[in-house]
Structure 1
Amino acid sequence: MKFHDLAIGQRFDLDGVVYVKTSPVLAGKADGGGTKFMPRYVMVKLLDGAAPPATVEQEKMLRADVVLAAFETYHSACREALGKLAGDIPVDGLQDITNVLEGERQSFLDAVLKG
Structure 2
Amino acid sequence: MKLQHIPLGGRFEFEGKVFVKTGPLTASSEQGGQCMIPRYAHLKPLDLPATEDKPGLRRKLDEKAVKAAFNDFYGTCSALLGESAQPELEAARQRFLAALK
Normalised to the residue count of structure 2, the TM-score between the two structures is 0.45
Normalised to the residue count of structure 1, the TM-score between the two structures is 0.40
Whichever structure has more helix as a proportion of its residues is 1
